[in-house]
Amino acid sequence: MQSDLPTVGVIANPLSGRDVRRVAARGAIATNQDKRNRIARAVIGAVTAGARRIVVMDEPFRIASGAIADLKLDIELQTLDVGAKLSPDDTLRAAVAMRDMGVQVVIVLGGDGTNRMIASVWPDVTLMPMSTGTNNVFPTSIEPTIAGAAAGLVAAGRVDIETVAPRSKVVRVDVDGDPDVALIDAVHLVGDFVGNRMPYEPSCIRTLVLSRSEPAAIGVSAIGGLVRPCAGDADAGVVVECGPGGMPLRAPIAPGLYRTVPVISSRFVELGETVQISPPGLLAYDGDRTHKITGSASARVVRDGPRVVDVERAMSLAAANGAFSTDDAASGDQTLI
Encode pLDDT of 54-94 as tens digits: 999 999 999 999 999 989 999 999 999 999 999 999 999 99
Nearest to 118 by CA among 89, 83, 91: 91
Mean pLDDT score, 224-247: 98
Instruction: Judge whether 201 and 260 are in contact, CB under 8 Å.
Output: no
- The separation between CA 30 and the C-alpha centre of its own chain, rounded to angstroms, equals 16
Residue 19, pLDDT score: 59
pLDDT range class, residue 21, cuts 50, 70, 90: low
Residues of the chain within CATH 2.60.200.30 domain(s) are 170-302
User: Please, which residues have CB within 8 angstroms of residue 212's CB and are 6 or more apart in sequence?
Assistant: 137, 169, 184, 221, 230, 231, 232, 234, 237, 238
pLDDT at 312 over 80: yes
DSSP H or E run through 189: strand 185-189
Lowest mean pLDDT among 80-89, 196-205, 322-331: 322-331
pLDDT range class, residue 263, cuts 50, 70, 90: very high
DSSP H or E run through 264: strand 257-270
pLDDT range class, residue 171, cuts 50, 70, 90: very high
Query: How many other CB atoms are there within 10 angstroms of residue 87's CB atom?
Result: 11
Query: To the nearest whole percent, how much of the chain has pLDDT over 90?
Result: 83
Residues of the chain within CATH 3.40.50 domain(s) are 7-167+306-320
Tell me the one-letter amino acid at 300: R
CATH, domain range 7-167+306-320: 3.40.50
CA–CA dist 114, 298 (Å, integer)? 23
Coil, helix or strand at residue 233 = coil
Residue 18, pLDDT score: 59
CATH class for the region spanning 170-302:
mainly beta
Nearest to 81 by CA among 115, 57, 113: 57
Question: Which of 16-25, 242-251, 326-335 is most confident?
Answer: 242-251
pLDDT at 331 over 60: no
Distances (CA, A) of 104 to 5, 50, 126, 269, 308: 10, 12, 7, 32, 12
